[in-house]
Amino acid sequence: MKSFPASDLKARLGDMFMAAAREPVQITKRGKEAYVLMSEEQYRRFVAMEDAVWAEKARAAAQGGFLGVEETERTLNELVSAKSG
């Protein structure tokens, strides 16, 4: 993934759009990951994949019984950790 500092946003927007057409582009702020710029097609695929994961989890929960509060918290924390890692 390409990375650009937010301070370059105005001057290099064209470069960022060109890069984002190929792959997501990371935008940093004060040296830390802050934003991701991606094409509409990539975003729609990401949302579709996320929706599919949640739909499958809902089907599994309906078939096997619903999760309790503690298991729900653990599962959500695992998902957040997996996405950020």
CA distance 50 to 29: 26
Whether residues 33 and 67 share a domain: the answer is no
Read off the pLDDT of residues 1-55 as tens digits, 9 standing for 90 and up. Answer: 778 788 888 888 899 999 999 999 999 999 999 999 999 999 999 999 999 999 9
Question: Would you state the structure tokens that stand for residue 83, as one six-digit string?
Answer: 């996405």
pTM: 0.59
Whether residues 32 and 46 share a domain: the answer is no
DSSP code of 31?
T
Whether residues 52 and 69 share a domain: the answer is yes
Tally of structural domains, the chain: 2
Angle CA(39)–CA(78)–CA(23) in degrees, nearest 5? 15
Q: Using the predicted structure, report yes or no on whether residue 81 has a pLDDT greater than 70.
A: yes
Q: Using the predicted structure, report yes or no on whether residue 59 has a pLDDT greater than 90.
A: no
Whether residues 55 and 75 share a domain: the answer is yes
Angle CA(28)–CA(29)–CA(32) in degrees, nearest 5? 65
Q: What one-character-per-residue DSSP string does 56-77 give?
A: HHHHHHHHH----HHHHHHHHH
Question: 76 lies in which domain range?
Answer: 41-84
What CATH number has the domain bearing residue 31? 3.40.1620.10
Whether residues 48 and 76 share a domain: the answer is yes
